[in-house]
Structure 1
Amino acid sequence: MPPQYPPDGWSGQPGTAQTRQRLHPLSPVLHSARSLVVVIAGLSWSTLSRVGFGWFAAMVTVIVLGAAVLAVVSWYNTGYQVVGRELRIHEGLLWRRTRAIPLERLQAVEVVRPLLAQLTGLAELRLEVVGGGKTEAPLAFLSVTEASALRQRLLSLAGRPPAGAPAAGVTGAAPPYAPTATPNAEPSTGRPLHSVRNQDLLVSQLLTPQAFLLPFGVVFVAAQFLSEGTWSFIAVASTLTAMAGIVLQPVRRVLDDWQFQLARDDDRLRIRNGLLETRVQTVPLHRVQTIGVTWPLLWRFKGWLRLRLEVAGYTAGEPDQRSRPDRLLPVGDLPTAEAIVAEVLPGVDLSSLPLTPPPERARWLNPLSRRVLGAGLTEQVFAVRSGLLTRQVTVVPYARLQSVRVVQGPLQRRLRLATVHADTAGGAGAAAVDRDLAEAWALAAELSARGHAARRQE
C-alpha cells in the first residue's frame, strides 16, 4: 500500500480526518523515462559531431538529472483521496491545485498498462466524466491491484443509490481504502461474453483496402525504380513514408485489439484488449448511447461484421482516440453480434429490425443507395441503415435521446423529403435520411414521445 500523509486542512466532512494517497514510488522513474526518450531523440548526431562526445554526454546527464528531479518533485506533491462521492486530485508545488471530480458524473473507468508499466507491474487509471473534453485525472502510476480496487470503488460510489436510500459516502467519510489482493493480480473479468481469436483479427485486417492494395503499390514502386535506374534519397524516403502510413492503420488495430475479451460484471461491460499497451475498460451499461454495426465490403465474403458503441462523456476531440471504449466486437459473425447486442440492449434483435426504405422519389438524391437506406422503430430502440459498399446499422435506445431534429435541404424541399436526426450525448447519434416530409414529422414526434417515456421509467 502506498505511503500516506496527512491532509492540508481540506477534509470531506467537518471533524473528519481524510488521508491522501500517493502514487506508486516507481512513478517518477516511468515519467522521467518517457520524457528522457523524447528529449534524447531530439538530440541529433549533428549535435554530437559539433560538441564532441564529452559535452554531449554532459548534456544528456544534465537532462537525465533534471527530468528525474522534476519527476520526483511532481510525485511528492501529487496525491488523491476519495471524499464522500468525490475524487480529489492534489498536485502542484508553487501553485497548488486540487481537482474535485463528482463521481455522479463518472461515465467510464479504464486501467491502462503501457509497455513500461507492464514491465514494472504498474498501471494507469483514467476516468471519463460527463462534459469532459478529455480524459480526467489520469493517475499514473498505481499497482495493478490498487488500480483495480480503486476503479471498483469509484464505480460503486458512482452507482445509483436505491430509491429513498442515501448515497454511499454522503453522510460520512469514505472508509479507508485497502486492497487485499496479491500485488500483481490481474483485475477480475466478470462473466465472459466473447473472446476474439487473434487469427480472425489478423485475417480481418488483411481484408482491408490498405492491405489489399499494398502489393499493387509495391509493384508500382519497383517498376518505377527499374525504369528510372536510380532514385534520390528524398524519393526513397518519401515512398517508404507513404507505404508505412498505409500499413500503420491495420497494424495499429491489430496491436490495439490483440486478445480482445468482452465480459459483463453486473450492470457493467468489461473490455480488455491490447498487446504493447493493455487496457481494461469498464463501461456502465446505462451510459451506452448507441451501438453501430458495420459490414465492410471485403468482410462480407466471410460473413463478418464489427460492433462499436458510443459512450457519454467521450468526445471526438479526445487526443488519444484509442482511449475511447468504442470497440464492442472488433470482428465476428452475426450470431455472436446478436448475442452481444442482446446483453447490452435486452430485447433487441439485429436480424428483425423493421427497417423501411425512403419513398421512391428519393432516388433522385440517392440513385444507388436508396434501397440500402432504411429506418424503423422497435419497442426499445430507433434503428437506421445506410452505406452502399460498407453497410452500417445504428441503433439508439429511446432513453438516450437528447434531441430530435428535422432538417431539409434545398433539393429535399422540392421533393418533399426531410432527414430526421436523433442526437445523443455520445455525439453522432443516428439519422433517417430522405424520409417523406409527413413521415419525418410523425417520426420526430414519436421519437420525442418515446424518449420522454423511456427517461421517466428509468
Structure 2
Amino acid sequence: MNPGGDPGRSGSPAPSAISTPPDAAHPAGPAHRPPADGASPPHDGPGPDFRPPAGGVGGPVADGAGEGARKAAAVEGRRRLHPLTPLLKGAKFLFAAVAAISWQGYAQLGTLVFLALVGVLLVLGVGLSAVSWLVTGFHVVGRELRVYEGLVWRRTRAIPLERVQAVDVVRPLLARMTGVAELRLEVIGAAKTEAPLAYLGVEEAHALRARLLAGAGHAPAHDPAAPAAGPERPFHVVPNQRVLVANLLSSPVLLLPVALAVTLLPVLFDPPAWTAIGVASMATALLGVVLPPVRRVLNDWDFRIFVDPSGVRLTHGLLDTRSRTVPAHRALAVAVVRPLLWRPLKWWRAKLDVAGVGAEAGEQGVRGGVLVPVADRATVRTVAGRVIDGLDIDALPLRPVPAVARWVSPLAYRRRAFGWTESVVVARDGWLTERLIVARLARVQSVRVVQGPIQRRLGLADVHVDTAGSIHVTARDRAVAEAYASAATLAELARAARTAT
C-alpha cells in the first residue's frame, strides 16, 4: 500500500545540475528559463568583476517583499568563497594523499623522495583549489540559491528555498583555526548534502544561513545563531560528564578490549622487527581501534539545544563544531532508545530523521542521527514534542502483542506494542535495548504486511511503516487480521494527513 508517496521524492523537482561547455549556447529549458519579471538569465561565467550582466539578475521575490527588496535582488552580484578556501582544500587534499601513500610507501620512497612528493602534491592541491575558487560563485535570486562552478564544464545549480529542510554551519578543526565556516544545505529529495559552500567567513555563513531559512519560511530574517546576537540561553545543556559516562557504558567501548586483543595478540606472539616504520604502523592500527568511541565523545561534547522561531537548533562538538537547525514540524521520525546499562541511571538517547537527510556512518554529528545524546526521559519528551508538534511520548496509545507471540520472541514479546493517533504511528520494542519509534503519518511512504514461516503457523504478521529516512516503524508479531486492518487504516490516515499539511 502506498499512502500517497514521499514528500522527499515527489512534488517539485530536486535541485537542478546543468553541465554545458563554456562556449555552448544555453538551451531554453527549466534550468535556464528567463525570470518571471523578464530580466536577463544569469551569466554563466564569473566575469571581470564577478557580477551579473548589466541587465541584472531577476527572479521571483519572496511574497510580501517591497520594491526595495526586488531591486536589491535584481542587482545583487555573485559572491566568492573565502580567500583562504584554496589553502584549506589543498591541505585536505594533501592529508588524503599522504594517508593513501601510508607508512609502507614512505619506507619504500625514502625521506627525501617522500618530502618532494608531498611538496608537489601540496602545490598541485592548492593550485587546483585556487582555480576552482576563481570560477565558483553563488548568490540568492528571489527564492533560489544559485551556485556556479566548473572551469571546462560549467555547472549551475538552482536550489529552491522552499525545498530546504535544514542549514548547517560546520566548523572543522582547520576552519576553526583560520576563522571560517562551511555551510551545508539539506534539501528534499537529495541523496546527499546539496551546495556545500566551503568556506565562508563565520559571520557571513550565519547571515546567509538566516537568509536562506527566512526565504524557506522556517525562520525570521534575524539569525539567533549569529555571533553578533549576543549571549543566548539554551533550552538544555548536556553535561560533558554525562556524555563521558554514557559512552563508557556503550557497546563500542565495552567491545574495545576485544578489538585491542585482536590487534595486539598477533604482535605479541610473533614480534616484528621494531623499526620506526613498524612502530608507526602499530600506532596507526591502535588509533583506528580507539578512534570510533573517542570520535563519538568529541562529536557529542558541549551538546546544547536551543528553541527558536526556526525550530530546534543543535550545537555540539569539541574539535569540529556544528550548528544545525531542525525546522519545526519537518521531522520524519524520532527514535527514543535506552541501552541496557543505561537503565539504572534512567537515561535515554533520541535520534531524528529529517526529509532529505541521509544517515551518516558512525552517527557523526546530528545528520539523520542524534537529537539528544543522553538525557532523562522528561527532557527527551520535551525535545521530541518540539520537533514533532504535539507529540507526547508518555501519552501514546499502545496495544500489546497477543500471548501467542511468546513462542516467537519469549524475551521481547512483553515489551512489544503498537498504536497510532491521527498524526503519528508508534511502535515499542526491544529487550536488551528499549526502543520507541514514532513517525509522522504525513511523511509515510508505504505500509507493508510481512509474514515469516513460523509466523504463518502461529497466525502472526509484522506491519512495516516506511518513511524516506533510516528510521522506520515496525510492529512485530501482530495477529494477522489485526495486521491487515491496521495497514489499511494507516494508509487512509496517511493520505488524510498529507492532504491536511
Instruction: Say if 1:446 and 1:25 are closer, same or farther in 2 by CA, change over 3 A.
Output: same
Alignment: residue pair count: 438
Partner of 1:252: 295
Q: Which residue of structure 1 lines up, in the alignment, with residue 455 of structure 2?
A: 412
3-state SS of paired residue (2:456): helix
The answer on 1:89 being equivalent to 2:147 is: yes
State how far apart, in whole Å, the 2-side matches of 1:453 and 1:78 are.
Answer: 44
Post-superposition shift, 1:248?
2.8
Say which SS state the counterpart of residue 413 (structure 1) adopts: helix
Q: Alignment identity in percent?
A: 48
CA apart distance, 1:242? 7.0
* Aligned residue identity for 1:195: V
Cα distance per residue 1:32-74 (max 9 Å; x no partner) = 1221233345556777787776665544433332222222111
Aligned pairs for 1:46-445 (under 5 A) are: 57-159=115-217, 185=227, 192-214=234-256, 231-232=271-272, 244-316=287-359, 322=365, 324-445=367-488
Unpaired runs of at least 5, structure 2 = 1-47, 61-70
With over 3 angstroms needed to count, the CA separation of the structure-2 counterparts of 1:374 and 1:94, relative to structure 1, is: same
The question of whether the paired residues in 2 share the 8 Å contact of 1:144 and 1:187 is answered with: no
Contact 1:191-1:264 within 8 A present in 2 as well: no
Work out whether residues 134 and 319 of structure 1, in 8 Å CA contact, stay in contact via their aligned partners in 2: no
Of 115-124 and 326-335, deviating more is 326-335
Against the structure 1 CA distance between its residues 125 and 217, is the aligned structure 2 distance closer, same or farther, given a 3 Å change threshold?
Answer: closer
Matches of 2:90 and 2:444, distance apart in 1: 45
**1:33 correspondence with 2:75:** no
Q: Report which stretch shifted further, 85-94 or 244-253.
A: 244-253
Q: Which amino acid aligns with 1:11?
A: V
Query: Cα RMSD between the aligned structures?
Result: 3.6
Give the CA deviation at 1:270.
0.7
Q: What is the CA distance between 1:245 and its match in structure 2?
A: 4.8
Note closer, same or farther for the CA distance 1:33–1:225 as it changes in structure 2 (3 Å cut): closer
The alignment partner of 2:336 has SS state of strand
1:210 shift after superposition: 3.4
Structure 1 residue matching 2:183: 3-state secondary structure: strand
Structure 1 residue identity aligned to 2:386: E
Of residues 424-433 and 90-99 in structure 1, the stretch that sits farther from structure 2 once superposed is 424-433
Cα pair 2:464 2:473 within 8 Å, conserved: yes
Supply the distance in 2 between the matched residues of 1:205 and 1:24 (Cα, whole angstroms). 37
d(CA) in 2 for partners of 1:217, 1:45: 22
Cα distance in 2 for residues equivalent to 1:406 and 1:189: 51
TM-score normalised by structure 2 residue count:
0.77
One-letter code aligned to 1:39: A
Alignment CA distance shift 1:62-1:222 (3 Å): closer
Alignment partners' CA distance in 1, 2:103 and 2:254:
38
Summarize the Cα distance change of 1:58–1:209 in structure 2 as closer, same or farther, 3 Å threshold: closer
Paired with 1:57 and 1:241, the residues of 2 have a C-alpha distance of: 20
Distance in 1 of aligned mates of 2:132 and 2:263:
50
1:280 deviates by 0.5
Q: Is the 1:40–1:60 contact (alpha carbons within 8 Å) kept by the matching residues of 2?
A: yes
Deviation (angstroms), 1:329: 0.8
Deviation at 1:237, TM superposition (A): 9.2
Instruction: Say whether 1:11 aligns with 2:57.
Output: yes
Unaligned 5+ residue runs, structure 1?
A: 162-167, 169-176
Distance 1:396 1:35, change over 3 A: same
Of 314-323 and 130-139, deviating more is 314-323
Task: State the secondary structure of the residue aligned to 2:235.
Answer: strand
User: What is residue 164 of structure 1 aligned with on the other side?
Assistant: none
Larger CA deviation: 414-423 vs 141-150: 414-423
SS in 2 for 1:370: coil
How far apart, in 2, do the equivalents of 1:160 and 1:289 lie? 16
SS in 1 for 2:399: coil
* CA distance in 2: counterparts of 1:181 and 1:301, whole angstroms: 37
Could you give the per-residue CA deviations for residues 364-384 of structure 1, whole angstroms, max 9, x where no partner exists? 221221111111223542110
Structure 1 residue 408: deviation in Å?
2.4
**2:14 aligned partner:** none
Match in the other structure for 2:20: none
Residues 223-272 of structure 1, C-alpha deviations (whole Å, 9 max, x = no match): 9988x5x6346999998777655533321110101100111121411110
Report the Cα distance in structure 2 between the residues aligned to 1:49 and 1:443, rounded to whole angstroms: 64
Most deviating of 428-437 and 320-329: 320-329
